[in-house]
Amino acid sequence: MSRHLVCLSFDFDALSGWIARGLTTPTPMSRGEFGAIGAKRILTLLAKHSIRSTWFIPGVTIHTYPDICRRVTDAGHEIGHHGWTHVPPAKLNRDAEAEGLKRANEAILNLSGRRARGYRSPSWDLSAHTIALLTENDFLYDSSMMGHDHHPYRARQGDMITDAGSVQFGAETDLIEMPVSWTLDDYPYFEFVRTDGAILPGLSTARDVLKNWLDDFTYMCRNERWGILTYTFHPFVIGRGHRMMILEELIEALTDQGAIFTTMADAAEEFLEREPLASD
């Protein structure tokens, strides 16, 4: 019997992403502040459709917006780890990364009563130490890499680029990788960002993006008996009015096609049942 899972994930960065990029003047910061508005709209929409989702929340967002974050966990949504700040691990040394991992997990524990089972790195940019730190801290899954589209896999540790330029793959770990894709992320489609070094044009027509997102699910249904598709949204992006409309249309269309909505932790557990660890 075919079974096609959908994970709706929300990176509640709020102000943290702008601070991490050094964009701390009032207008960029206000864009992050809109995330609190978007989060409330999203929670209302998810409740309307009885959907449990996964929210990756930086520790500083938990401290800045405790009431909204409490609404997330009180509604039964999974809280995933998204760093303490929104600085990518690739820009941190091992000690700083480990400290941020610990500090944010304490914030998540205080918020929800449990530590995070899943991790998503800010900006999807892991360091050479991240996988080891996640396994040492008993995470079930990571959701930062893009080595597949519909199937989780085991995260590797110790990949190396040789002197000849080829790649030598490291050993698989127990950590489950729940793959993501920029094509299933709202941020690059919609956000206009100007920095000293680049311009991200964004501002795509929402309905064109909706078609892309639906077609990926349709392809999975046509070609796989079992699979998981993970969508990544940001409340300050998808929370704008016309984008909220296509988010609801996405949910309704996926439901019509037989999608099973679940949290990422539950989806990872289902994968583990299908492909248990060799040591089990």
How far lies 215's CA from each of 51, 93, 250, in Å? Answer: 21, 40, 11
The SS3 assignment for 93 reads coil
* Confidence at residue 109, expressed as pLDDT on a 0 to 100 scale: 97
* Confidence at residue 162, expressed as pLDDT on a 0 to 100 scale: 86
Which residues in the chain show pLDDT less than 50? Answer: none
Return the exposure string of 176-202: e unless at least 16 CB atoms fall within 10 Å of the residue's CB, then b: bbbbbeeebbbbebbbebeeeeeeeee
- Condensed to tens digits (0 to 9), the pLDDT of residues 208-253 reads 999 999 999 999 999 999 999 999 999 999 999 999 999 999 999 9
Locate 29 and state its tokens. Answer: 């910061």
Domain 3-274, CATH: 3.20.20.370
* Confidence at residue 279, expressed as pLDDT on a 0 to 100 scale: 55
* Confidence at residue 137, expressed as pLDDT on a 0 to 100 scale: 95
Cβ proximity of 144 and 180 under 8 Å: yes
Locate 6 and state its tokens. Answer: 């959908």
Q: How far, in Å, CA of 131 to CA of 160, rounded? A: 14
Question: What angle in degrees, to the nearest 10, is found between the helix axes of 26-48 and 66-74?
Answer: 20
* Confidence at residue 159, expressed as pLDDT on a 0 to 100 scale: 84
Total Cβ atoms within 10 A of residue 167: 9
* Confidence at residue 192, expressed as pLDDT on a 0 to 100 scale: 82
* Confidence at residue 134, expressed as pLDDT on a 0 to 100 scale: 97
* Confidence at residue 153, expressed as pLDDT on a 0 to 100 scale: 97
* Confidence at residue 278, expressed as pLDDT on a 0 to 100 scale: 61
* Confidence at residue 161, expressed as pLDDT on a 0 to 100 scale: 87
* Confidence at residue 277, expressed as pLDDT on a 0 to 100 scale: 72
Q: Which pTM was predicted?
A: 0.94
* Confidence at residue 193, expressed as pLDDT on a 0 to 100 scale: 74
* Confidence at residue 268, expressed as pLDDT on a 0 to 100 scale: 98
